[in-house]
């Protein structure tokens, strides 16, 4: 091996590496910063500390051995599942599987629907799923891997799922439909009751993607119930994903998939015994998983309790209102749809919103961007409490600069890439 191999033969002192890590992370975008509106899901320093301490305690335990070696992890998993089912109005007989993230939860929902359809809809041997324009790309990822064809709608009239178009797209091969509560691009909850009625009428599996809203909307609803019901309380919803590592405020690595009928969890996991090392049984896609993520999620949920999440919702709604009012007060800016959770997008009538985004970025704001219409997207968290005036003043300046022609868009696109 040459002396300039990437994987060096000689190790280096931890102190040196640690210094390099510190230098590298300082050059990254800060995760928690009032100028960052990309997803960060910050609640408080206290919750950060709970995540860090609980995660560190269980960092080295592998949740795959929860059932055999680490009964506390198995218990956390069961209790996270039970709390989630209760939160999402699950009927008796429902079941919840804990996964590593929203993508895995949605993947498992597609897998469950596909395998259920093999029994329930034997004529659908080339399975298809009908999804709204705004459904998260994790569905296309899952469908591609699972041999399911995605029928994605062409538009979102009124910024929600196009129920009529979805009804028209249902054919003999359709096995599944998707709704989002809320979708990532605009934040307005899809009309789940209407889609659930459609699914029931055609005997299809309706999955609700509650990755963003699952741990926010139930509490927002207690304070302000001005959006449609979206969870397992709606007859016809067969499964719902909800991420604890988003607005549930747990460290990354924890999401949930709840099924109306726990017996259908046979379509999720797999037990395998035909090899020399004995029974291998898992309830989702992942094999080894850190116990840290489970312990952190369990601790945060227990620490906050329902009251903690409701208080958070109260504060988040107050933050959102100040931002929304401020944006609306600037001439030509319009909120896209009706943002039901903690994020929203806004567009411009008569001038270029892309240029406004560029002006904000030049001043150090880290914004999101969306399309259809071109818009600026803000994902709020508690670090934005009190942060609206500074943002709104730079926003107003950016708008003036674009209107007067001092700034022209450099054509930055909505982008979401690893």
Ligand X SMILES: Cc1ncc(COP(=O)(O)O)c(C=O)c1O
For ligand X, the binding residues (CB under 6 A) are 101-103, 106, 136, 138, 180, 183-184, 209, 211-212, 243, 255
Closer by beta carbon to ligand X, 255 or else 347: 255
Of 118, 68, 401, 55, residue with least CA distance to 253: 55
SS3 track for 170-236: CCCCEEEEEEECCCCCCCCCCCHHHHHHHHHHHCCEEEEEECCCCCCHHHHHHHCCCCCCCCCCCCC
Nearest approach in angstroms of CB 337 to ligand X is 15
DSSP symbol at 266: G
C-alpha 193/C-alpha 256 separation (Å) is 21
Nearest approach in angstroms of CB 182 to ligand X is 7
Nearest approach in angstroms of CB 332 to ligand X is 28
Nearest approach in angstroms of CB 323 to ligand X is 19
Nearest approach in angstroms of CB 51 to ligand X is 16
Closer by beta carbon to ligand X, 64 or else 379: 379
Closer by beta carbon to ligand X, 106 or else 174: 106
Place of tokens 């040196």: 16
Closer by beta carbon to ligand X, 178 or else 234: 178
Closer by beta carbon to ligand X, 146 or else 200: 146
Question: What backbone phi and psi angles, to 5 degrees, belong to 376?
Answer: -105, 135
Q: Alpha carbon 383 to chain centroid distance?
A: 19
Helices (H) and strands (E) in the chain, counts: 11, 13
Pinpoint the alpha helices (H) of 41-191.
45-57, 71-87, 102-120, 138-146, 163-169
Cα 229–235–238 angle (5° rounding)? 100
Q: Which residues pair with 128 in a beta bridge?
A: 149, 174
Closer by beta carbon to ligand X, 95 or else 132: 132
Nearest approach in angstroms of CB 191 to ligand X is 16
Nearest approach in angstroms of CB 100 to ligand X is 8
Nearest approach in angstroms of CB 245 to ligand X is 6
Q: Say if strands 205-210 and 174-180 run parallel, antiparallel, or are unpaired.
A: parallel
The answer for 236, left when phi > 0, alpha when psi is -120 to 50, beta otherwise, is left
Could you give the count of Cα atoms lying within 13 Å of 400 in the half-sphere of its Cβ?
6
Closer by beta carbon to ligand X, 103 or else 312: 103
Closer by beta carbon to ligand X, 290 or else 398: 290
Nearest approach in angstroms of CB 137 to ligand X is 8
Closer by beta carbon to ligand X, 39 or else 332: 39
**Residue 97 neighbours by CB under 8 Å, 6+ apart:** 81, 108, 256, 257, 258, 259, 265, 268, 269, 283, 284
Cis amide prior to 373 (ω within 30 degrees): yes
Residue number, nearest CB to ligand X: 102
């Amino acid at each position: 091996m040459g002396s300039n191999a990437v994987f060096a033969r000689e190790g280096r002192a931890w102190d040196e590496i640690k210094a390099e890590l510190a230098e590298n992370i300082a050059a990254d975008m800060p995760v928690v910063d009032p100028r960052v509106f990309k997803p960060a899901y910050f609640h408080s320093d206290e919750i950060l500390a709970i995540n860090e301490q609980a995660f560190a305690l269980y960092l080295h335990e592998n949740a795959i051995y929860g059932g055999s070696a680490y009964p506390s992890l198995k218990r956390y998993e069961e209790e996270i599942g039970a709390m989630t089912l209760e939160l999402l109005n699950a009927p008796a007989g429902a079941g919840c599987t804990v996964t590593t993230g929203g993508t895995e939860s949605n993947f498992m929902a597609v897998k469950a629907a596909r395998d259920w359809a093999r029994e329930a809809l034997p004529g659908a041997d080339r399975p298809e799923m009908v999804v709204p324009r705004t459904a998260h790309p994790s569905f296309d990822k899952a469908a591609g891997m699972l041999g399911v064809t995605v029928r994605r709608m062409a538009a979102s009239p009124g910024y929600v799922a196009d129920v009529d178009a979805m009804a028209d797209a249902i054919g003999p091969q359709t096995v599944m439909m998707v709704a989002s509560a809320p979708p990532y691009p605009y934040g307005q909850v899809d009309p789940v009751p209407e889609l659930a009625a459609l699914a029931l009428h055609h005997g299809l599996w309706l999955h609700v993607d509650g990755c963003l809203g699952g741990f926010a909307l139930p509490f927002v609803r207690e304070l302000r119930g001005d959006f449609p019901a979206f969870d397992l309380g709606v007859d016809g919803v067969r499964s719902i994903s909800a991420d604890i590592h988003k607005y549930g405020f747990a460290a990354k690595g924890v999401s949930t998939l709840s099924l109306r009928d726990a017996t259908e969890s046979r379509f999720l996991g797999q037990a395998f015994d035909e090899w020399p090392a004995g029974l291998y049984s898992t309830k989702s896609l992942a094999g080894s998983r850190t116990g840290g993520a489970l312990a952190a999620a369990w601790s945060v949920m227990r620490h906050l309790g329902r009251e903690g999440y409701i208080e958070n919702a109260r504060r988040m709604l107050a933050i959102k209102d100040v931002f929304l009012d401020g944006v609306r007060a600037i001439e030509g800016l319009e909120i896209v749809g009706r943002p039901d959770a903690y994020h929203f997008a806004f567009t411009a009538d008569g001038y270029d919103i892309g240029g406004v985004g560029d002006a904000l970025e030049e001043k150090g704001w880290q914004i999101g961007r969306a399309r259809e219409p071109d818009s600026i997207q803000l994902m709020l968290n508690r670090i934005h409490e009190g942060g609206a005036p500074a943002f709104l003043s730079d926003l107003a300046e950016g708008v003036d600069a674009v209107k007067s022609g001092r700034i022209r868009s450099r054509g930055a696109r909505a982008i979401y890439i690893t």
